[in-house]
Amino acid sequence: MDLTAGDVWVMVSAALVLLMTPGLAFFYGGMARAKAALNMIMMSFVAVGIVGVVWVLWGYGMTSAPGILGGLVGNPLADLGLASHVGTADLVGIGYGATFAIITVALISGAVADRTRFGSWTLFVTIWVTLVYCPLAFMVWGGGLLSADGAVGRVFGEAIDFAGGTVVHINAGLAALVLVYIIGSRADFGKTKGYHRPHNVPLVMIGTAMLWFGWFGFNGGAAGSVEEAGLIWVNTLAAPAAAMLAWLVVERVRDGRPTSIGAASGVVAGLVAITPACASVSPLGALVIGLLAGVGSAVAVGWKYRFGYDDALDVVGVHLVAGIIGTLAIGFLALPVDGEGGGLFYGGGAGQLVAQVAATVFTLVFTGVLTALIGLAIHRTLGFRVSAEDEARGVDLSEHSESAYTFGEESASYEPLAEDART
């Protein structure tokens, strides 16, 4: 079997998307407190390890198997080892799909920074990607409930989600919100204005650059033609650029000065919002979506103080809010296909908007209920949160016996290894 240009592009895109998870680790690690930086980075890296194994053993089979909840009821292990795909071009797409599952669950970790048990997190990753991500990916992309032939799709119409507005960002953003309420706030949350500032802003900017770079593969890997790939590339440039500028303007008006963290957050918000719409709107539409996402997310990150949920690194404000904005905007801005359909602004009627709203609501309910069940089960058995003492001294030391930065006498803060471990 000859290797086609399309196969090569998907392989390159898969590598770009995989690079996004280390980029996310740096982004989150820089935003976290110094005493939790390594733990934050490890929460992303371990997601690569766990989901990489799960995907081979049963994850992919669940996203492609017919049946209730994407093969969850039936035989999710039917494709054990991907034996039926060995020697076929399918493995290229299967690998590409794995990278989406990896970064989706890694996104959640930023909300629960500084206070989460690493062992409980690894269990959550395994269960959540199995019971929430894989079934939802099947429903949207595998021919399930939200597809054109699915029960929801037949009633409300098929929603457009090219690269993961529902499956990735709304899914991860709402899961983050649910976990935050289950685990609870950090001891000093909201007690002092500006009580938590990113400890390493350059690391945040490096992570942002890696995310934006990888996002061209995230959005463009499934392009079906050169023309579509070109549209996706331009939109993936335009939306985050507009969102960054919008966020900075909000900061300038609200706080008196723009910030580097605001620029980075604006870029990510724009990338999130354009993800579901990248192949369906014009570059002008991408600019509009970016502006809406930049303003919306910049305002939304302050909601945690108003409503009392400690979303440490603004996963809810950026991924959930921008994901909803991008998903719903398709109902207004989608381009007609072959002169038919399209969003409200193109004379396509309300049909596409109804489909987008239905998919959004379904995702919120599905993710919210299942994440609550998983999170509560782990929290009430193993416990999801470290002790108050461990939170105060830092989860890097309590969970990993490591420190991101060691200067002089600080090296004494390492916990001694057992005698047999030294030998």
Q: pLDDT by residue for the chain (423 residues), tens digit each? A: 678 888 899 999 999 999 999 999 999 999 999 999 999 999 999 999 999 999 988 898 888 865 444 444 444 444 445 656 666 668 889 999 999 999 999 999 999 999 999 999 999 999 999 999 999 999 999 989 999 999 999 999 999 999 999 999 999 999 999 999 999 999 988 776 555 789 999 999 999 999 999 999 999 999 999 999 999 999 999 999 999 999 999 999 999 999 999 999 999 999 999 999 999 999 999 999 999 999 999 999 999 999 999 999 999 999 999 999 999 999 999 999 988 889 999 999 999 999 999 999 999 999 999 999 999 999 999 999 999 999 999 999 999 999 999 875 444 444 544 444 433
Burial class (CB in 10 A: 0-12, 13-18, 19+), 357: middle
Q: What is the pLDDT of residue 191?
A: 73
158 is written with which tokens?
Answer: 């098929």
Query: Nearest-CA neighbor of 291 among 332, 328, 248, 253?
Result: 248
Query: What is the reported pLDDT for 192?
Result: 63
Q: What does the alpha-carbon distance between residue 191 and residue 272 come to, in Å, rounded to a whole number?
A: 31
- Note the residue count of the chain: 423
Helix 5-31 and helix 260-274: axis angle, to 10°? 140
Q: List the structure tokens of 286.
A: 């991408």
| Number of Cβ atoms within 10 Å of the Cβ of 390 | 15
> Burial of 249 by CB count in 10 Å (0-12 exposed, 13-18 middle, 19+ buried)?
middle
Tell me how far apart the alpha carbons of residues 15 and 254 are, in angstroms, rounded to a whole number. Answer: 39
- What is the pLDDT at residue 400? 96
Question: What domains are defined for the chain?
Answer: 5-388 (1.10.3430.10)
- Sign of the C-alpha dihedral computed for residues 77, 99, 136 and 85 taken in this order: negative
Q: At what angle do helices 321-333 and 283-300 cross, to 10 degrees?
A: 150
Q: Taking the chain, what is the end-to-end CA distance rounded to the nearest angstrom?
A: 51
